[in-house]
Structure 1
């Protein structure tokens, strides 16, 4: 099967070329806003029609190259489709930050011998070197590059390149270890494996830091000035980067601390945000806003790379079921003291560990009748 990751490479731009890149990115964003205005007025998402009605205008007004003009239309249409899918209404996207989409072998190419990228701009092509940052394995001939995004952060330029490569997926018959992973707030992840070992990834420090961000945003919202609103956006971006880094570290530890042939079993948390109806307003931010999906995505692609597998199962009653006798009762779990005590057989343990144990059991059941892992 094929797997795609995004390689974020810092490129080294000559001082004389920096302004050229900045001007090209600004022109591309302005052209995207022009196309966005057209689509918002016409509600037309036909790529053929949009390109026909805007192609020559964006080339003439903004000086875009041929492929850039085509990419501009694709970028805006994709943005509209995402908004319609998520928001179910027509909302006009605004491209505030300078950006540039580069099509492989048209707008950018790579000289493997010299490790030099050739990047297209309004003034023709420029040559840039780059830091591989541990991505050397993705520059093999078998890897395919996709449409890259050029980003400028704090005066530094980065190429975000989708890299697709072949990978052998783990077959269930090859599974030799099953790990149940319960995700939560007190512990971001709690695991239980086929050897009966449990691992807890503490979330208390995370909870405190997120409370700090929330309080800081509240203070700035009360100020209500343009600078405070700008600061709020900056804090949100900083928190998102931090959340992604935490999830990266947890997912990396999970795949590296378990052998090849491991099946990770997690709860299918699709629609988790709808549970806000049953959560007090003051607790909603903490309860449902952690990016469990981001952790799931990072774990899934890292697991494939290590010849491991991730399976999602129904989360119903995983915290109320006794892993020893199978008795299901809501009263088995005391959320206040984080203790599980079976009303039938008396088995006691941490409630997050119970969830991981039940997920481990469900993983074993997935492998039946050809299970090769034993409890």
Structure 2
């Protein structure tokens, strides 16, 4: 078994009086986080015990926080600093700009099928919420709630709850299907599977919509007004949400259209940004902004839910190698017309399909190598007993 964590989004149904109370609590919580952040930046102290000893009384008296809220503030700031140190490897002071409230399960908040109970500056309040899709998570023998985040977006209040549960881990010996997935711009994905079937998701409409966003962004940048800057920020968020929804739909379709215990094979595109130096300047926006990583992450967690697996392999020559005879040559691929023609055996096909076929072959080789390793280990075990 292995653990899976997903984030459940719950909208709170708050009255005007509730909104005032929640806004005040989240604003004070944010201000307290910034106060603690400044102290940590000066002292580089990330130990909750010592921070609590120095700052607890101030958080209670100056900000009026309840005891549990004061502890949550310390944990929030410590977690943010540790993330920065892990990613940046240097001390950078985080600033908490938007009102927020981090809630520890069964301490700062609780959730039943009818009610959201939360600790505020004026005591605990119980609020209704839109429960659609949440009912399955209340079996706490299976699902476990973690530290949630309460936010206010355009006057609507949302609770983001991490939900952890166990899923059966897929073993190599259980794999019954292999799917090679070539990600690109002309086609969002091109696939080739164990049934020798190919599939394509066109990227034409996505490319066009991104071009429209890029054009609008340039026009707004030229205006240099406060309203244009606000508009720029808004369309940036909108474009990200739209692209995430596209990736959600594509990854969901990939998992649902294949059986359990499928092995999905992707190219390891971790160095794709470095490749933009070889791309024409006018094409760099599309190459860099195309959200390959987001699609990859969504596919990984959806595959786990379906007892399937995802592996990443070396992307070199996947679009230059002939899947029939194995001949590899750069001129095999004509990028302009998206056609692959093997200079050795003459095999022709779409270049993205060729990439998917080669990824499928690498998946088959991975299974074969894993099985050989397992058999060798088993033989060694028997021989030494």
- TM-score bracket for this pair, using the shorter chain length: over 0.9
Q: Tell me the residue number matched to 2:329.
A: 329
Deviates more, 1:63-72 or 1:262-271: 63-72
> How far did 1:87 drift?
4.1
Counterpart Cα distance in 2 of 1:53 and 1:321: 64
Q: Tell me the residue number matched to 1:34.
A: 35
- Note closer, same or farther for the CA distance 1:123–1:254 as it changes in structure 2 (3 Å cut): same
Deviates more, 1:27-36 or 1:269-278: 269-278
Q: Tell me the residue number matched to 1:134.
A: 133
Q: Tell me the residue number matched to 1:291.
A: 291
> How far did 1:17 drift?
1.4
For residues 190-248 of structure 1, give each alpha carbon's deviation from its aligned partner in whole angstroms, at most 9, with x where no partner exists. 11111111111111111111122222222222222222222222121111111111111
- Note closer, same or farther for the CA distance 1:43–1:277 as it changes in structure 2 (3 Å cut): farther
Q: Tell me the residue number matched to 1:2.
A: 3
**Higher Rg:** 2
Contact 2:265 2:359 in 1 (8 A): yes
Q: Tell me the residue number matched to 2:176.
A: 176
- Note closer, same or farther for the CA distance 1:108–1:169 as it changes in structure 2 (3 Å cut): same
TM-score, scaled relative to structure 2: 0.91
User: 5+ residue gaps in structure 1?
Assistant: none
Q: Tell me the residue number matched to 1:239.
A: 239
> How far did 1:307 drift?
1.9
What is the Cα-based RMSD across aligned positions, in Å? Answer: 1.8
The 5-angstrom pairing of residues 95-244 of structure 1 reads 95-112=96-113, 115-141=114-140, 142-244=142-244
Counterpart Cα distance in 2 of 1:140 and 1:7: 14
For residues 57-95 of structure 1, give each alpha carbon's deviation from its aligned partner in whole angstroms, at most 9, with x where no partner exists. 222222222222222222223323333444454433222
User: 5+ residue gaps in structure 2?
Assistant: 373-385
- Note closer, same or farther for the CA distance 1:166–1:187 as it changes in structure 2 (3 Å cut): same
Counterpart Cα distance in 2 of 1:230 and 1:359: 43
Counterpart Cα distance in 2 of 1:133 and 1:251: 23
> How far did 1:277 drift?
2.4
- Note closer, same or farther for the CA distance 1:50–1:278 as it changes in structure 2 (3 Å cut): farther
SS in 2 for 1:93: coil
TM-score, scaled relative to structure 1: 0.93
